Amino acid sequence: MEFSKKESYAIQIGNYLKNGRYAKALELSTEMTGKFPKEPLSHFMAAKSYYFSGKYEKAKMEGRKAFNLSHTKSDMMFSAIITASALFMLGKYDEAHKLLVHFEGENNEDVEKLLLIFYAVKGDGGKAGEYYKELYSLNMDIARKFIRKLAGISEA
């Protein structure tokens, strides 16, 4: 399947990821990065595809490429989120933290969640609590669901 626009690739890759078709997402991401090698979106979608396929080292590398090619702070933040997520899965918590702290105060739920996890893993309950409060102020429902999920509590 070949598309002429990067946005068309991104939509199809997103659909594959949403439906758990990770091999197809990876295949299309590889095609997209070949066709649009200097576009951060190409590498971001490749990073997501690798991440959901459990290939965290490759997700980290593609996320970094997307970050380095980004032109806006928003693009940089989304690239940092997927890169930090891969770093967490690789057990590289400090490296993930260094990336995320640049986006503190950006009012992004994903950044707040990852920083909460970082401080919880590091055993700093006070800082983890601060990020939970920040996440709660951004979106109360997301905060509650996130904590339930972390605690292994099913939704009622």
Which residue bears the tokens 């095609």?
A: 31
Percentages helix, strand, coil for the chain, rounded to the nearest 5? 80, 0, 20
Comparing C-alpha atoms, which of 88, 92, 85 is closest to residue 66?
85
Comparing C-alpha atoms, which of 18, 19, 33, 29 is closest to residue 55?
29
Residue predicted with more confidence, 43 or 147: 43
Residues 68-91: tens digit of each pLDDT: 999 999 899 999 999 999 998 998
The rounded percent of the chain whose pLDDT value lies above 90 is 54
The predicted structure's pLDDT at residue 108? 83
CB burial string 107-138: b at 16+ within 10 A, e below? ebebbbbbbbbbbbeeeeeeebeebbebbbee
- Whether residue 28 is predicted with pLDDT greater than 90 in this model: the reply is yes
Residues 6-21: tens digit of each pLDDT: 899 999 999 999 999 9
Tokens of 151: 């605690």
Q: What is the CATH number of domain 1-92?
A: 1.25.40.10
For residue 144, the number of C-alpha atoms closer than 13 Å in the C-beta half-sphere is: 6
Tokens of 129: 């609590």
The predicted structure's pLDDT at residue 20? 94
Domain layout of the chain by residue ranges: 1-92, 104-156
The predicted structure's pLDDT at residue 4? 82
The predicted structure's pLDDT at residue 151? 67
Residues 108-121: tens digit of each pLDDT: 888 888 888 888 88
pTM of the predicted model, to two decimals? 0.81
